[in-house]
Amino acid sequence: MEFVERKRWMFFGLPFTFTKYTVKEDMITVSEGFLKTVENDCYMYKVQDVTHSASLGEKMFGLGTVICYTGDTTHPQLILQHIKNSRQVKDFILKESEEARLRRRTVNMLDIGSGDVDDMDQGED
């Protein structure tokens, strides 16, 4: 599956910008510009978290913004701004990023301090 969305104006959600977002199973590509085109890729396994937001203006025109928090050096926060189908894109990125991490065996586990109190007391000596 693949999503190709354009950044849109808030005014009636018209796609009069020169920014295109392509979301595939293995990477996210942002292509910006008219005279000079800059293309930036982020592998899906680098996406750590995704948020979705929609302001009142975006809701009125069926748009939303997806923010991907990544381990990528060029875009630590990859913002897909004012796009249609934003909730489906967010869900797709969450699912595919988890599958990409499992395929590459790069799953990060966080230790949130679920140890016993006795374990914590031993470290203070």
pLDDT tens figures, 21-49:
999 999 999 999 999 999 999 999 999 99
Which residue in the block uniquely carries the two structure tokens 């374990």? 119
pLDDT digits (tens, 9 = 90+) for 77-93: 999 999 999 999 999 99
Separation in Å, CA 56 to CA 83, 86, 101, 102: 14, 14, 34, 37
Q: What is the pLDDT of residue 6?
A: 86
Q: What is the pLDDT of residue 110?
A: 53
CA quadruple 97, 101, 107, 108: dihedral positive or negative? Answer: negative
